[in-house]
Amino acid sequence: MATAAGTLAAPAVQAPSGIWAWLTTVDHKRIGTLYGVSGMVFFVVAGIEALLIRSQLAVPNGEVVDADLFNALFSMHALTMIFLGVMPLGAAFFNWLVPLMIGARDVAFPRLNALSYWIFLSGALMLNASWLLGGAPDTGWFAYAPLTENTYSTGRSMDFYTVSLIILGTSSLIASLNFIVTIINLRAPGMTMFRLPVFVWMTMIVAWLLVLSLPVLTVGLIQLYFDRNFTTNFFIPDGGGDPVLWQHIFWIFGHPEVYVLILPAMGIVSEVLPTFSRKPLFGYGAVVFAGISIAILGFAVWSHHMFTTGLGPVPRVVFSATTMTIAVPTGVKIFNWLGTLYGGSIRFTTAMYFAVGFIATFTVGGISGVMHASPPIDTQQQDTYFIVAHLHYVLFGGAIMGIFAGVYYWFPKFTGRFLSEGMGKLHFWLFFIGLNVTFFPMHFLGVSGMPRRIYTYDAGLGWETWNFVATLGAFTIAAGMAVFLWNFFRSMREEPSAPDNPWDAPTLEWATSSPPPEHDFDVVPVVRARDPVWYDRDHGIAPPEPDPHEHIHLPPPSYYPLLIGVGFTLIGIGALSHLALVALGAVVVIYGIWGWTLEPTGAEPAAGGH
Amino acid sequence: MRLDRVHTRRLPLAAAVLLTGLVLAACSDPLSTIEPKSDATQTVQNVYVIVFWLAAVVFVGVLGATLILSIWFRERPGRVASQFHGNTRLEIVWTLLPVVILVAIFIPTATAIVDLEPDPDDLPPGTVHVEAIGHQWWFEFRYPDLGIVTANEMHVPVDRPVYVTLRSEDVIHSFWIPQLVGKVDMVPGRENAVIFTPNEARDEAYLGQCVEFCGTSHANMRFRVFVDGQADFDAWVEAQLAPPVAAETLSELAQEGAALFQNPILALGVTPCVGCHTVKGTPAVGLIGPDLTHVASRSTLFAGIRDGFASSEDPERVQRELERWISDPDDIKPGVTVRENGMPAWGEHLTSEQITALVAYLRELQ
């Protein structure tokens, strides 16, 4: 590796393969792939959980699963989709794209990047291990106290919840700091902040949201862990605690989290729409500032999850106003995307289908969101299927549709291969029809008074038809996913054939090969405009010649991130079993940090023995 | 391309179908949220109608624009994309337009919030006061001014304000009668309240249910509300205040059941019936489970999930279900035996003859 890095005669092939190479990688692209594959696996797991839920509810008094399993399924469906599906899929794009889009050769802290993945994996496995070790969390992803306290949740399930979410939060926090520093410090010459692709802006906003909101959740989780294990009374009313405090803590994190899930998709769509409309994004500044406004307002709306908690009329009025305000920047984004379509010459690739589908379905979720921003209306919609419909239009119709737009769009860049457009469009229609057939009827169910999180319901309440239809829709979505997976594996068996810039796209990642070399760019690009590739094309600027004497500094692989990840896992297992393991884990972490600091970073070209 | 044209033409039709579907979907469903039968739900409905139609306009506008732009500007020979970066005037328009819509929603919202808020110090004259207490997984209703304690079934007089204070004995529950009052949570350690004036007396019950996830049998935590004419309400009050059937008038089997019910050491190490349940005028004064003084007069059993003796056309079936319940309540309502202070599965401790006798007793608690 050191020999290869010394000159630009670097072979086109990637760094060594094999399991050890993946375990020790610090390459942002490989880490992105790890996040992406993990995210897809857990997306499928959470999807299977959803299918079980829908099977149980297909008919009145369903008997597919029992009450306790159903409660665990809907809780784990949410936790898995949010923390192990959509967030890592977002992280996959951040990892793959941010350095490429800003013209950098890696993130600011490559080993830290690897560490955040290994900690993520540790938390993800721990959360799912609960299925086998005494029961999965079954109090909803929001885990309202005091149902989560020892008295009502016996067993270990809620400890799995607190410990694994703390671990997952640590991972996201590390990654977020890494991306903030990367975006601020590693931009190529000429890549000013207002030339950053919108996706990079959204990445940075998400990172800030996580940095500011995750510590709040972590505090709450530690309090809950202490309530359960060390007899504190933070959320126990009989001991002087307050269950409503948990709700505040959870939603101060939980609402920004919604934007953590949706903003990456908004960023993706803001890249896909201009490329296939063949014109620049309409209102770049407005889209960026709308994203920033959404993030800031996102911290001022948490109590709209608590309109029925009994906070009194003044908070209801105030939080209703702040919540409605968010519709303004959200609307600005939607209108600017439509403005991007206007006047274009739109090429309807699969990615574009997903992006345009995103606008439609996300808008539906946005509109229903404004409806229950009105607290009086919310008293008739809160905790009914109307909310289930709303949140799935935002998260499936929004986040997931956006993510798949990104998958089809960047697949040639990531792999050097194309996904089949025919199968891709079949996938799109199965998803698009499936999601509308699943989630639109849930509005009707909510209006008919069907509560969320019920494992059974009686006939005669007007819920039979739409529940059955929704279940059919869920299996339609599953069929779409099967088509995607088939498409994926079929494509991966083919020889790479993608050119550098197959879509004639404007951003820097398309200025390097598909897939990019380990060092991303042979020459660090110089950015002259917001859409650099289009600018260079239109002004006849040829790609710069590589300097044969330049030394490209890439960090060597390191197993310390993995080791520290193992240490975190031991600490987590210890927190669920015996404190001695916590001590052992701490020793491993400290040893890992020690080795990490003394590890040669390959900064000296001579050190490689070239 | 032909397909696209068809789609465009059908768009208004599709939107109309969708909207009428949404409106009609919920009509005449027992838990419909858009069939207000009280002043409180009517207040909500008035806001909802405004918001619904504004939402419908935005829905049709944005989705229509997405579809039309996608079709109009699709790639075709000779078309070249216009290269422009934005339009400040448009940005201002589509920032201000939502603001106008939101103000139109916010003003009635804020007014309704204030209107719906009960003022405990200034309740209207003639208000009926009910205390609703959430338990895993049933509702307790107390009428402090009338001295009535009942479970899973509320009776209220028509056209009189009903003030319900909300508490919880264990975890968070939520109190909701979609046609009468929007939901408000029952939070342990706090007291919330709702006020509403039902405006339609009817024989059919209004359905209510817990809507905050509260554990294993959250789905099985329901209740019924009967809005009676004043005379019917007074009759109900009188019946509830009457002492239960005198011991000597009970049937022989029921007397046997009563003895079991009142036995303080029914089974070793298991809390007996009287440890948790109250039957007024008897030694049964337990406070953990539902008050059973007039259990046979109720329209449902087990928190609204099965017909009760008073409503079922097949009392023998109710008898069998109640026997099943006492024998193994988890079979009907999962989690009941394992929750804290849960109901024991008496099938493990009593013979089926004994359980039959117990139910015979309960059946006569009119």
Mean pLDDT of B74-94: 92
A11 falls within a domain: no
pLDDT band per the 50, 70, 90 thresholds, residue A3: very low
Query: Which positions in chain A touch B335 (Cβ < 8 Å)?
Result: 67-68
**Is A443 within a domain?**
yes
Determine, yes or no, domain membership for A516: yes
Name the percent of chain A lying above pLDDT 70.
Answer: 96
Judge whether residue B212 has pLDDT over 60. yes
Facing residue for A367 by CB, picked from B25, B55, B340 = B55
Cβ-contact A406, A335 below 8 angstroms: no
B192-196: strand order across its sheet: B148-151, B138-143, B128-135, B162-168, B192-196
A501 pLDDT higher than 90: yes
- Output the CA angle A194-A200-A204, nearest 5 degrees: 95
Q: How confident is the model at residue B268 (pLDDT cuts 50, 70, 90)?
A: confident
Interface test with A, best of B85, B93, B207 (most A CBs within 10 A): B85
Give B23's pLDDT tier (boundaries 50, 70, 90): low
Picking from B28, B168, B185 by the largest number of A CB atoms within 10 A of its own CB, the best residue to mutate is: B185
Catalytic one among A49, A106, A149, A522?
A: A106
Contacts 24+ apart (CB under 8 A), A586-590: A588/A563, A588/A564, A589/A564
* A287 class by beta-carbon count within 10 Å (0-12 exposed, 13-18 middle, 19+ buried): buried
Q: What average pLDDT does range B203-214 have in this prediction?
A: 96
- Quick check: A346 and A279 in contact, CB under 8 A? no
Q: Is the pLDDT of residue A165 over 60?
A: yes
- Chain B within 8 Å of A277 (Cβ-Cβ)? yes
Instruction: Give residue B6's pLDDT.
Output: 43
Across A197-219, average pLDDT: 97
Q: Residue B128 — φ and ψ, nearest 5°?
A: -95, 125
Q: Is A513 a catalytic residue?
A: no
Split into its structural domains, chain A has a count of: 1
A257 is catalytic: yes
Q: CA-CA distance, B242 to B237, in Å (whole number)?
A: 9
Q: Which of residues 458-497 of A touch B (CB under 8 A)?
A: 458, 460-463, 466
Residue A5 placed within a domain: no
With beta carbons less than 8 A apart as the criterion, state whether A115 and A32 touch: no
Q: Which of A275, A325, A335, A393 to mutate to test the interface with B (most CBs of B within 10 A)?
A: A335
Asked if A448 and B26 come within 8 Å (Cβ–Cβ), the reply is: yes
| Annotated catalytic residue A171 | yes
Whose tokens are 């709303």? That residue is A390
User: Quick one: average pLDDT of A92-107?
Assistant: 96
Which residues of A are less than 8 Å from B169 in CB distance?
none
Give the model's pLDDT for residue A554.
Answer: 83
Structural domain includes residue A492: yes
Instruction: Give me the pLDDT at residue B27, please.
Output: 60
Which range in A415-429, A540-554, B259-273 is most confidently predicted, on average pLDDT? A415-429
Residue A3 lies in a domain: no
Distance of CA B339 to the CA centre of its chain: 22
Confidence of residue B5 (pLDDT cuts 50, 70, 90): very low
pLDDT above 50 for A6? no
Q: Which of B334, B310, B306 is nearest to B320 (CA)?
A: B306
pLDDT score of A528 more than 60: yes
Specify the range with the lowest mean pLDDT, choosing from A64-68, A472-476, B247-251: B247-251
Q: Using CB atoms, which residue from A283, A310, A370 is nearest to B91?
A: A283
Give the C-alpha separation, A284 to A302, whole Å. 28
CA–CA separation, B99 and B105 (whole Å): 10
What is the domain-level CATH number for residue A148?
1.20.210.10
Q: How confident is the model at residue B341, as a pLDDT?
A: 86
Residue A270 is among the residues annotated as catalytic for this protein: yes
Which one of A25, A270, A415, A558 is the catalytic residue?
A270
Strands B128-135 and B162-168: parallel
Q: Is A172 a catalytic residue?
A: yes
Q: Is residue A1 part of a domain?
A: no
| Mean pLDDT calculated for residue range B125-145 | 96
The predicted structure's pLDDT at residue A18 = 87
Query: CB A365: neighbour CB atoms within 10 A?
Result: 22
Q: How confident is the model at residue B223 (pLDDT cuts 50, 70, 90)?
A: very high
pLDDT the model gives residue A12: 40
User: Predicted confidence band at B21 (pLDDT cuts at 50, 70, 90)?
Assistant: low
Beta-carbon contacts of residue A335 (< 8 Å; ≥ 6 apart):
B90, B94
What mean pLDDT is reported for chain B? 91
Average pLDDT over chain A, rounded to whole?
93
How high is the pLDDT of residue B281?
87
Q: Is the pLDDT of residue A53 over 70?
A: yes
What does the pLDDT read at residue A546? 86
Dihedral over alpha carbons B331, B335, B340, B344 (to 10 degrees) = 10
Closest by CA position to A23, among listed A600, A583, A557: A557
> Chain A partners of B19 at a C-beta cutoff of 8 Å?
none
Task: Domain of residue A412: give its range.
Answer: 17-541+552-608
The CA distance from B24 to B61, in Å, is 22
- pLDDT tens-digit profile of A324-358? 999 999 999 999 999 999 999 999 999 999 999 99
Mean pLDDT (whole number) for B332-354: 92
Give the pLDDT score at B20. 65
Region B265-269: mean pLDDT is 86
Q: What is the pLDDT of residue A453?
A: 96
Please give the Cα distance from B266 to B246 (Å, whole number). Answer: 22
Residue A257 has pLDDT above 70, yes or no: yes
Q: How confident is the model at residue A235 (pLDDT cuts 50, 70, 90)?
A: very high
According to the model, what pLDDT value does residue B4 have?
46
Domains, in order of start, for chain B: 2-116 (1.10.287.90), 128-241 (2.60.40.420), 247-363 (2.60.40.420)
Check pLDDT > 60 for residue A604: no
Task: Give a yes or no: residue A27 inside a domain.
Answer: yes
Identify the pLDDT of residue B12: 58
Go through chain B and tell me how many residues it has.
366
Look up residue A584 and give its two tokens: 């052992």
